[in-house]
Amino acid sequence: MTIRRTCSLTALSVLLVATGVSAADVDPGVHRRLAEVDTTKVWIHLTDKDLAGPALDAALAAAAETLSPRTATRRAQRRTAPGLVDQHDLPVAPAYLDTLARLGVEPVVVSRWLNAVSAYVDEATLGAIGDLPFVRAIELVRRGELVDPVSSAPAALPLGGGFYGLATTQLEQIGLPALHDTGATGAGIVVGILDTGFKRDHEAFNNPDHPLTIVAEHDFINDDPDTGPEPGDPSSQHRHGTLILGTLGAYMPGTLVGGAYDASFILCKTEDTSDEYQGEEDFYVAALEFIEANGGDVATSSLRYTDWYTDDDYDGVTAVTSIGVNIATSNGVFCCTSVGNSGHDSNPATSNLGAPADALEVISVGAVESTGEIVGFSSDGPTADGRVKPEVLAQGSGTYTVDADVPDEYRTASGTSLSCPLVAGAVACLAQAQPGWTVPQMRDLLFRTASYFEAFGTFDPLYVEGYGIIDAAAANALDCNGNGSPDDEDIAGGGSADVDGDGIPDECQCGPDIDGTGDVGFGDLLAVISAWGPCTGSCVQDLDGSGDVGFADLLMVISAWGPCA
């Protein structure tokens, strides 16, 4: 059956060539590029997955069965797309790959999500591919630049710096220690990092009492499972990724502790520091698929794709990396990305964005000083379709992390690539504290509690500061019942009662603990007895909201006797 299908497709291709009809939309930029070089890397976008009817239903059922347990659980909790799986989860059609191979196409990346293949082609091969009836479009694989630190310097060890050591200020600025105090430290959460590579010999990754946990890793540049330094790598290959990993996962109490120190990690080596353009978008999308398939909850990256794109392309649905992020977020993966280090101005009509910071539900991160002032290099928005970017801020100037080359030293680095993992760490801890929050709900609650929104009730109209510096503890506290909706909206909408009028849903409180001691006991019993009868004014002893303090309220105290849960 497969052989007959391939012959039929080949015959149709010949017919199309003979009649001068092209089946695919070929980006003119591909021809321009091939006029400069012999071969170039392109995306070959396919029309479908070559399945329909019962065969499609069976394939979708099989895809659901092959999801890892972590991936299935995350999708069930947070996926916003319908169902548990869709056609993005189906493999690229083998018959189509076979036909491309007969034309000499050697895939670099085969993307289920995009239903596309990246490969190097010359002009002759391009023409043959473009005439295949199952090829929808051909476009360049865009190249990106790493959002490199604008500066970096050794750091002196702290003297009496407390548990977080050097990281104290940068974590306190975004409310993370207060969130950690509630028990949300990233435990049980998996964070994926897309970056240059990772050297893991630092003492802060190998604390005997708390070693770093890696659940999966892959080098997409060399297509091997080792994301550490390898023979042939530039001497700088591992540095940037190691800085990011340190910001998130370091654990050396009193010296440096990362923002999500109890999280586990998926490491993806996607950026080649030997090239003028360190990243290619096919590796980025492949890494996102890898993180999602391996049960990642959060993905963080510091790449900015601008080559061969125009400002009009940053609409959230055009750039390939942005499309990949959109699919990841629809599957319940919280995606964070640096907005870039290209600076900003006071003109809201101009923008210094790149992809995937324009993606629809990515959390795009700008940078501030430790004092809270915006840093001059932090890029501004908006997107082509007028959405707010960046959305949130964290410290990206003098941010503390590990030294990537000396296993017992530490350093500072500056850039939005350092503020982004701070936000990703906060998101990881919030995902632990609020496992039911979807991507839109996480974004909404982070934005509502960020500094600019708290001060002005809106976002920065210049598209420089977004909603402001995040406050992870405040975001968590805004939704005490974990339903993804702010508590004031629950009360206003009638979904939650607030008998005592304190703005906190009653289900989040230990109502019978009238004296606020944390226990329901004799003090609360006496409070009910002393207020017996009709309420006048505020009446916290009226636990059932009946307007009278009586036997029903007394029974509520007795039934809740003991420590508050």
3-state SS, residue 287: helix
- With respect to residue 305, please indicate whether it lies within any of the assigned structural domains: yes
Domain match, 457 and 539 both: no
- With respect to residue 245, please indicate whether it lies within any of the assigned structural domains: yes
Measured CA to CA, the distance from residue 416 to residue 139 in angstroms comes to 29
CB 416 within 8 A of CB 146: no
- Each of the 565 residues of the chain gets a pLDDT tens digit; together they read 223 333 333 344 443 433 334 468 999 999 999 999 999 999 999 999 999 999 999 999 999 999 999 999 999 999 999 999 999 999 999 999 999 999 999 999 999 999 999 999 999 999 999 999 999 999 999 987 766 666 667 777 776 679 999 999 999 999 999 999 999 999 999 999 999 999 999 999 999 999 999 999 999 999 999 999 999 999 989 999 999 999 999 999 999 999 999 999 999 999 988 875 657 899 999 999 999 999 999 999 998 888 888 999 999 999 999 999 999 999 999 999 999 999 999 999 999 999 999 999 999 999 999 999 999 999 999 999 999 999 999 999 999 999 999 999 999 999 999 999 999 999 999 999 999 999 999 999 999 999 999 999 999 999 999 999 999 999 999 988 888 888 788 778 888 777 667 777 877 777 788 877 878 898 889 988 988 999 877 688 888 878 899 988 899 888 888 887 6
Domain match, 103 and 127 both: yes
Domain match, 37 and 167 both: no
Last residue of a domain, one of 107, 141, 175: 141
Helix, strand counts (H, E) of the chain: 18, 26
**pLDDT of amino acid 112:** 98
Domain match, 457 and 519 both: no
- With respect to residue 67, please indicate whether it lies within any of the assigned structural domains: no
- With respect to residue 82, please indicate whether it lies within any of the assigned structural domains: no
Domain match, 106 and 194 both: no
The tokens for 547 are 């307007």
The tokens for 542 are 């009226």
- With respect to residue 302, please indicate whether it lies within any of the assigned structural domains: yes
**pLDDT of amino acid 4:** 30
**pLDDT of amino acid 23:** 65
Domain match, 525 and 452 both: no
Domain match, 322 and 373 both: yes
CB 29 within 8 A of CB 142: no
Measured CA to CA, the distance from residue 309 to residue 378 in angstroms comes to 20
E-strand ranges in 176-234 read 190-195, 206-207, 210-211, 214-219
332-346 pLDDT tens trace: 999 999 999 999 999
**pLDDT of amino acid 497:** 76
Region label for 79, one of left (φ > 0), alpha (ψ between -120 and 50) or beta (otherwise): beta
Domain match, 160 and 241 both: yes
Stated length of the chain:
565
**pLDDT of amino acid 500:** 66
- With respect to residue 492, please indicate whether it lies within any of the assigned structural domains: no
Question: Measured between alpha carbons, how far apart are the two ends of the chain, in Å?
Answer: 64
CB 388 within 8 A of CB 126: no
Measured CA to CA, the distance from residue 195 to residue 283 in angstroms comes to 11
Domain match, 521 and 433 both: no
- With respect to residue 185, please indicate whether it lies within any of the assigned structural domains: yes
**pLDDT of amino acid 152:** 66
25-26 and 135-140: which strand pairing? parallel
**pLDDT of amino acid 19:** 35
**Largest CA-CA distance found in the chain, in angstroms, rounded:** 97
E-strand ranges in 392-454 read 392-395, 399-402, 410-414
> Within a 10 A sphere around the Cβ of 304, how many other Cβ atoms?
27
**Residue 47 lies in domain:** 2-51+90-141
Q: CATH number for the domain including 355?
A: 3.40.50.200
Last residue of a domain, one of 141, 161, 179: 141
Measured CA to CA, the distance from residue 225 to residue 370 in angstroms comes to 37
CB 415 within 8 A of CB 148: yes
Domain match, 117 and 170 both: no
**pLDDT of amino acid 20:** 38
The torsion defined by the Cα of 230, 214, 278 and 307, in degrees rounded to 10, comes to: 160
Domain match, 115 and 192 both: no
CB 331 within 8 A of CB 298: no
Q: CATH number for the domain including 6?
A: 3.30.70.80
Which residues lie closer than 8 Å to 317 by C-beta, 6 or more apart?
Answer: 323, 326, 360
Measured CA to CA, the distance from residue 109 to residue 290 in angstroms comes to 12
E-strand ranges in 151-263 read 151-155, 190-195, 206-207, 210-211, 214-219, 251-252, 256-257
DSSP class of residue 165? B
With DSSP H G I counted as helix, E B as strand and the rest as coil, what are the percentages for the chain, rounded to 5?
A: 35, 20, 50
Domain match, 472 and 541 both: no
DSSP class of residue 88? G
Q: What is the pTM of this model?
A: 0.88
Last residue of a domain, one of 477, 499, 521: 477
Total domains in the chain come to 3
